[in-house]
């Protein structure tokens, strides 16, 4: 339906993404012709019921899970066209994309601070500088006192915050978060959302956050909703209604 | 940041246990190699220590270490008469199994031609060489007899006067050194009743004998020791060992002796070869094969361990891929752990072996060349066996971090 539109000042251009899992009898169309443009500094919320395809969309945009068809451009550059990748996805992810996933985000044998450090060290940062920045981020997220603990010794919410710190550590141009605040209380959840907004505005990153937490929707610039694999943008009217309903 | 050591520290107990397991396995491999060396060394030790240039044995036999060999003891004088021969000694060697304190003990009996040879060449760890012509012995440490212990063999009682170590027969039995006369007495020891029966038989044979009928006195001879009987062979020895004067051509002396119809002659090198190719060959091959088998098993077990170690980390590996870690980082993680495991295992094997091997009934010799060879093998195994894990890690998709 849409031609591949990508503007240089867009952080993310996902055009006509379709994902079909399996084949024949077991075929599942998890995502159907999904299109989304996120400009630099924009923070997008993605809502939708369970199984609607939110994670599928996010992992496609995050270059982890190639779509069956459709194009993904990051920073105006075509990266993925259907199942064909135009760059080394792994090193592209390392440099440009920060992730927070629904669960088990951290490497169990590394301490909290090392989990953040490793992302920066892989990106060529010196050990010292990486540790310094990791501690600063942890301090900002209120988990600095847990720096040397293993993930298994952290609460779910603390783990999520460490994952947030790791996702933004390399100052990525794209941040993708799949229910990052599910394990956090209202206040902390809001704080994390505000942090995303801050990073987006300061670094010009495009941010997509899957959330069920309607209380913090006002932080977002745009709201999309997914249902049965179909993606559509919500009008600002229904947005206000939704905020009120909570 | 070194991921391999971080992971090991996180799973220290498990890793240590695995390393000990691998260490013990490698210790067995190491021990097999050491036993192999020990068998070869022990087999040739006696030949080397006796220091003979030539061994004269019964015609067409392969000498006392391979089979039963009997030569007349007067062969000593025949050999001595050959130009170039420096010394010529009787050699008596046979193995006995007796009961000592309720447990069976196998002793390789070796006769020294006292008084020229009192066993001065035997390295003693305690006591002294033989001091008298009878009833003394020097024993190997493995026989477990202290100086002063008395052992009754046949009709006589022998006292331990010296202890030596690492004097083992090719069969693995400890050596005991006696004088030739004692060694023969032990070998040909006959119970009193058997002697009496033999003398009675002799007498009755003599009664039918023409000469005895004419000269009845001749029958008295029947009751004398067989050694004193006219026309009866003297007690025999296993072999005669000969040393040559410096500068004498071994081959030419051997040539001369091989002309005698009743004996065969071997040089020390030939005797060594005979032993290695003969009596210890099967043991050697058996142990060698076992060693190869154990090495293969160690490789398979290590591969499985490294594979499961990788499986345990598969989620972390997927996560690393997800955050963009290049393959080299993941490969390094697995390979380094494999090498650390191999290295630590080898160290444990070595240290454990140092403690345990001396307690083995047979000698375990850890030669430097064998240790180096094993180290190289362990290195190879570590690298090869990590391939299975690496293959698994390369195959995992970053997606798996999400489930
Ligand atoms: N690997 C897969 N193989 C087959 N089907 C899959 C796979 N992953 C997801 N699906 C299917 O695709 C559909 C969308 O799944 P997805 O995980 O994107 O939903 P979601 O919106 O993230 O749900 P939730 O809110 O529960 O996380 C579901 O019907 C799911 O069963
Ligand atoms: Mg999901």
Q: Out of A101, A104, A121, whose CB is closest to B1?
A: A121
Tokens at residue A149, please? 């603990």
Residue A90 contacts B where some CB pair is shorter than 8 Å? yes
CA-wise closest residue to B257 among B247, B271, B267: B267
**Domain presence at residue B285:** yes
CA-closest residue to ligand 1 atom 24: A50
**Domain presence at residue B266:** no
**Domain presence at residue B9:** yes
CA A64 – ligand 2 centroid, Å: 14
What CA–CA distance (Å, rounded) separates B239 from B56? 6
Residue A144 contacts B where some CB pair is shorter than 8 Å? no
Cis peptide bond prior to A142, omega within 30° of 0? no
Tokens at residue B100, please? 């000592």
Question: To 10 degrees, the CA torsion angle through A220, A224, A226, A229?
Answer: -130
Q: Out of A99, A107, A117, whose CB is closest to B316?
A: A107
Place of tokens 């060396």: B37
Q: What is the pLDDT along chain B (403 residues), one digit of tens a residue?
A: 899 999 999 999 999 999 999 999 999 999 988 988 888 888 788 888 888 899 999 999 888 887 888 888 889 999 999 999 999 988 889 889 988 888 889 999 999 888 888 888 888 999 999 999 899 999 999 898 999 999 988 888 999 999 998 888 877 889 999 998 899 888 887 777 888 888 888 788 877 777 777 777 777 777 777 666 665 555 678 999 999 999 899 999 999 999 998 999 999 889 888 888 877 788 888 888 988 898 899 888 888 888 898 899 999 999 999 999 999 999 999 999 999 999 999 999 999 999 999 998 888 999 999 999 999 999 998 998 889 899 999 999 988 888 7
Q: Is pLDDT above 70 for A6?
A: no
Domain that holds residue B35: 3-42+280-402
Predicted pLDDT at A239: 53
Test A90 with B326 for CB contact under 8 angstroms.
Answer: yes
Q: What is the 3-state secondary structure (H, E, C) of A150-204?
A: CHHHCCHHHHHHHHHHHHHHCCCCEEEEECCCCCCCHHHHHHHHHHHHHHHHHHC
Closest residue of chain A to B328, computed from CA coordinates: A122
A5 — pLDDT class (breaks 50, 70, 90): low
**Domain presence at residue B333:** yes
Test A107 with B320 for CB contact under 8 angstroms.
Answer: yes
Predicted pLDDT at A214: 84
pLDDT in tens, A131-146: 999 999 999 888 999 9
Tokens at residue A115, please? 């989990």
Predicted pLDDT at A236: 60
CA A55 – ligand 1 centroid, Å: 7
A75, A239 Cβ separation under 8 angstroms: no
Test A94 with B398 for CB contact under 8 angstroms.
Answer: no
**Domain presence at residue B138:** no
Predicted pLDDT at B326: 93
What CA–CA distance (Å, rounded) separates A223 from A143? 29
**Domain presence at residue B144:** no
Domains and CATH numbers, chain A: 10-245 (3.40.50.300)
Tell me the sheet residues that pair with B99: B104
A197, A130 Cβ separation under 8 angstroms: no
Test B326 with A93 for CB contact under 8 angstroms.
Answer: no
pLDDT in tens, A50-75: 999 999 999 999 999 999 999 999 99
A94 to chain B nearest CA, in Å?
4
- Number of domains present in the structure of chain B: 1
Q: Is pLDDT above 50 for A2?
A: no
**Domain presence at residue B320:** yes
Residue A107 contacts B where some CB pair is shorter than 8 Å? yes
Residue B394 contacts A where some CB pair is shorter than 8 Å? no
HSE of A166 in the Cβ direction (CA atoms, 13 Å)? 34
**Domain presence at residue B109:** no
Tokens at residue B84, please? 């170039």
Predicted pLDDT at A8: 62
Contacts of B359 (CB under 8 A, 6+ apart): none
Q: Which of B313, B314, B323 best tests the A interface by mutation, with the highest count of A CBs <10 A?
A: B323
Q: Out of A94, A104, A114, whose CB is closest to B6?
A: A114
- The total of other beta-carbon atoms located within 10 Å of residue A10's CB is 18
């Amino acid at each position: 339906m849409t031609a591949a539109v990508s503007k240089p000042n867009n952080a993310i251009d996902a055009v006509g993404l379709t994902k079909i899992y399996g084949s024949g009898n077991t075929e599942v169309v998890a995502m159907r012709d999904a299109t989304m443009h996120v400009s630099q500094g924009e923070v997008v919320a993605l809502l939708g019921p369970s199984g609607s395809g939110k994670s599928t969309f996010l992992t496609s945009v995050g270059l982890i899970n190639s779509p069956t068809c459709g194009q993904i451009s990051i920073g105006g550059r075509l990266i993925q066209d259907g199942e064909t990748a135009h760059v080394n996805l792994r090193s592209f992810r390392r440099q440009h994309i920060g992730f927070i996933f629904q669960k088990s985000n951290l490497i169990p044998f590394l301490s909290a601070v090392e989990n953040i450090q490793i992302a920066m060290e892989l990106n060529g940062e010196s050990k010292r500088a990486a540790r310094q920045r990791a501690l600063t981020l942890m301090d900002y997220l209120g988990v600095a006192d847990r720096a040397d603990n293993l993930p298994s010794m952290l609460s779910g919410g603390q783990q999520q915050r460490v994952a947030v710190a790791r996702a933004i550590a390399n100052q990525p141009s794209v941040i993708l978060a799949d229910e990052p605040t599910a394990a956090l209380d209202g206040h902390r959840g809001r704080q994390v959302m505000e942090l995303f907004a801050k990073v987006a505005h300061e670094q010009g990153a495009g941010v997509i956050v899957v959330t069920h937490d309607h209380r913090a929707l006002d932080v977002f610039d745009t709201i999309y909703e997914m249902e049965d694999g179909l993606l559509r943008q919500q009008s600002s009217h229904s947005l206000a209604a939704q905020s009120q309903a909570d | 940041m070194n991921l391999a050591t971080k992971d090991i520290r996180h799973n220290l107990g498990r890793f240590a246990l695995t390393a000990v397991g691998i260490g013990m396995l490698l210790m067995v491999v190491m021990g097999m190699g050491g036993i192999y060396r020990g068998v070869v060394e022990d087999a040739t030790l006696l030949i080397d220590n006796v220091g003979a240039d030539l061994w004269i044995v019964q015609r067409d036999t392969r000498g006392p270490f391979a089979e039963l060999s009997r030569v007349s003891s007067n062969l000593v004088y025949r050999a001595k008469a050959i130009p170039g021969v420096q010394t010529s000694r009787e050699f008596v060697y046979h193995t006995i199994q007796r009961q000592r304190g309720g447990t069976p003990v196998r002793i390789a009996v070796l006769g020294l031609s006292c008084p020229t040879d009192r066993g001065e060449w035997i390295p003693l760890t305690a006591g002294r060489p033989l001091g008298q012509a009878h009833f003394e012995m020097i024993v190997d440490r493995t026989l477990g007899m202290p100086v002063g212990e008395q052992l009754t063999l046949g009709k006589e009682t022998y006292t331990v006067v010296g202890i030596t170590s690492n004097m083992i027969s090719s069969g693995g039995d400890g050596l005991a050194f006696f004088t030739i006369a004692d060694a023969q007495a032990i070998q040909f020891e006959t119970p009193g009743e058997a002697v009496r029966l033999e003398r009675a038989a002799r007498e009755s044979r003599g009664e039918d004998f023409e000469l005895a009928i004419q000269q009845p006195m001749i029958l008295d001879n029947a009751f004398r020791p067989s050694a004193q009987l006219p026309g009866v062979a003297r007690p025999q020895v296993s072999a005669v060992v000969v040393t040559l004067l410096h500068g004498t051509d071994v081959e030419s002396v051997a040539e001369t002796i091989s002309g005698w119809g009743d004996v065969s002659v071997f040089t020390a090198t030939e005797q060594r070869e005979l032993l290695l190719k003969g009596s210890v060959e099967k043991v050697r091959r058996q142990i060698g094969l076992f060693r190869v088998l154990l090495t293969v098993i160690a490789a398979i077990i290590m591969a499985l361990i490294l594979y499961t170690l990788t499986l345990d980390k598969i989620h972390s590996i997927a996560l690393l891929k997800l955050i963009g870690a290049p393959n080299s980082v993941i490969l390094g993680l697995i390979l380094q752990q494999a090498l650390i495991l191999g290295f630590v295992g080898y160290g444990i094997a070595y240290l454990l072996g140092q403690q345990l091997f001396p307690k083995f009934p047979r000698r375990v010799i850890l030669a430097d060349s064998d240790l180096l060879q094993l180290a190289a093998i362990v290195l190879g195994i570590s690298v090869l066996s990590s391939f299975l894990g690496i293959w698994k890690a390369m195959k995992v998709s970053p997606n798996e971090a999400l489930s």
